[in-house]
């Protein structure tokens, strides 16, 4: 029995050795299933519309009055919400300005203390520019 010395790729052990399909296409539902889905959705919509049309007979309400009062309450609530947000923003702006004033005072105080405590700079004589080298005759030493 002769063995091959070459490297071999080990199979996955499955009888079918074709590559796995990770992103398989979904099977489309049958035509009858799609028609049934559409009919059920349409029946649910018609049922809800009939229920809404029967609602005023079951409950004695004036639907127009109900809608107008609901809209009025919604507008009133939104205006109160916006007014509250505006007041909150004003308070936050005042707090930010107060914090900015305190930070500016603190930074100014620190700089003032540093300026007063720091030693005075030592004044030295102004540095003279270096004299240009004297050019002498060639061969002369100075």
Q: Alpha-carbon distance 13 to 11, whole Å?
A: 5
Structure tokens at 34: 């799609």
Delimit the domains of the chain by residue range. Answer: 33-117
pTM: 0.38
Q: Alpha-carbon distance 100 to 86, whole Å?
A: 21
DSSP characters over 33-48: HHHHHHHHHHHHHHHH
Are residues 56 and 63 in contact, defined by beta-carbon separation less than 8 angstroms?
yes
Letter string b/e over residues 35-68, b meaning 16 or more CB atoms within 10 A of that residue's CB:
eeeeeeeeeeeeeeeeeeeeeeeeeeeeeeeeee
Q: Alpha-carbon distance 76 to 73, whole Å?
A: 5
Q: What is the pLDDT along the chain (142 residues), one digit of tens a residue?
A: 566 677 766 655 555 666 667 777 788 888 889 999 999 999 999 999 999 888 777 776 666 677 888 899 999 999 999 999 999 999 999 999 999 999 999 999 999 998 888 887 777 766 666 766 677 666 666 5
């Amino acid at each position: 029995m002769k063995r091959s010395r070459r490297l071999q790729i080990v199979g996955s052990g499955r009888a079918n050795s074709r590559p796995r399909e990770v992103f398989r296409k979904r099977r489309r539902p049958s035509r009858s299933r799609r028609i049934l889905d559409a009919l059920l959705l349409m029946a649910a919509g018609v049922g809800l519309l009939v229920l809404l049309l029967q609602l005023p007979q079951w409950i004695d309400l004036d639907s127009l009055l109900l809608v107008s009062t609901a809209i009025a309450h919604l507008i009133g609530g939104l205006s109160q919400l916006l007014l509250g947000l505006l007041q909150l923003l004003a308070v936050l702006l005042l707090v930010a300005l107060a914090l900015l004033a305190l930070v500016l005072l603190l930074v100014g105080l620190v700089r003032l203390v540093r300026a007063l405590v720091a030693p005075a700079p030592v004044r030295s004589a102004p540095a003279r520019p270096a004299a240009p080298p004297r050019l002498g005759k060639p061969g002369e030493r100075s």
